[in-house]
Amino acid sequence: MSVVVTAPSAMSGDMQLARRALARDGDAFRTIVKTYNQRLYRLARSVVRNDSEAEDVVQEAYVRAFAHLGSFRGDASLGTWLSRIVLNEALGRLRKKRRVPENPQAEIIQFPLTPSDDPERTMAQRQILKLVEQATDSLPDVYRMVFVARVIEGLSIEETADLLGVRPETIKTRLHRARLLVRKALDDQIGPVLLDAFPFAGRRCERMTDAVMRRLGLQA
């Protein structure tokens, strides 16, 4: 039986960064936000299935996390600690929505593509990414969160289990089921593009970072 142990250097780095942030070090706050923006956004969207609401969720989660940063003890990585806060915020919003009878349509994000001089290649990329987005959004909640965490965000089985509070065996089962469901809508040839889906970089990342820094009163 293998045991996964977080590297001491990584954990000590997280603690140092958290302590700097507690001391109101603006650079530390910005480093944390820019480091985890993409993961947290992807996780939030896997729950709320709406890009603008996912951004709101992440911003609220950051503000809440930084207000309670003193409670971070390094038992898990800073990324996992933040991810749990984001999931709690996202799931809380989802529960509130479900109290009101409604049937909103999931919003499909128009993701930026890698620039290409080949119009046909660009069009094919757009079609493939749209299929990936639609297939992911159509997954049931329990499978969608696992699929996003494991396949799109690239977390390990153990990290995903820790994040969602379930056994690794459960993650494996849900991931297997999620992949079967996704394959019904996708051709085998588009597998390699999965990691390009749900990006969070460039203008979106900068906008999120600036918004969080303003709310914390640390914007230059």
Instruction: Give me the domain span that covers residue 212.
Output: 1-108+199-220
Alpha-carbon distances of 210 from 66, 152, 199, 207, rounded to whole Å? 15, 25, 18, 5
Claim to verify: residue 79 and residue 14 sit in the same structural domain: yes
pLDDT of residue 148: 86
> What is residue 82's predicted lDDT score, i.e. its pLDDT?
93
Same domain, 104 and 136: no
CA-CA distance, 207 to 211, in Å (whole number)?
6
Residue linked to tokens 């990006």: 199
Give residue 121's pLDDT.
56
Residue 114 confidence (pLDDT): 47
CA distances to 45, 98, 136, 137 from 133, rounded to whole Å, are 11, 23, 5, 6
Regarding whether 122 and 99 lie in a shared domain, the answer is: no
Nearest partner of 39 among 22, 54, 19, judged by Cα: 54
Q: Domain check: are 190 and 205 in the same one?
A: no
Task: Report the length, in residues, of the chain.
Answer: 220
Report pLDDT for 140: 87
For residue 101, the SS3 value is coil
What is the predicted pLDDT for the residue at 46? 86
Cα–Cα distance for residue pair 27/65, rounded to 1 Å: 16
Q: How many domains does the chain have?
A: 2
- C-alpha to C-alpha distance for 130 and 134, rounded to whole angstroms: 6
Same domain? For 137 and 219 the reply is no
Q: Given this model, what pLDDT does residue 50 score?
A: 86
- Note the pTM of the prediction, 2 decimals: 0.63
What CATH number is given to the structural domain containing 170? 1.10.10.10
| pLDDT tens, the chain, 220 aa long | 444 444 445 557 889 999 999 999 999 999 999 999 989 998 898 888 888 899 999 999 999 999 999 999 888 889 989 999 999 898 888 777 766 444 433 333 334 444 445 565 566 566 666 777 778 888 888 898 898 888 878 888 998 898 888 999 999 999 999 888 888 766 544 555 554 555 555 677 888 888 888 888 886 5
14 vs 81: CA distance, rounded Å:
11
Residues 64 and 155 in one domain: no
Note the pLDDT of residue 85. 92
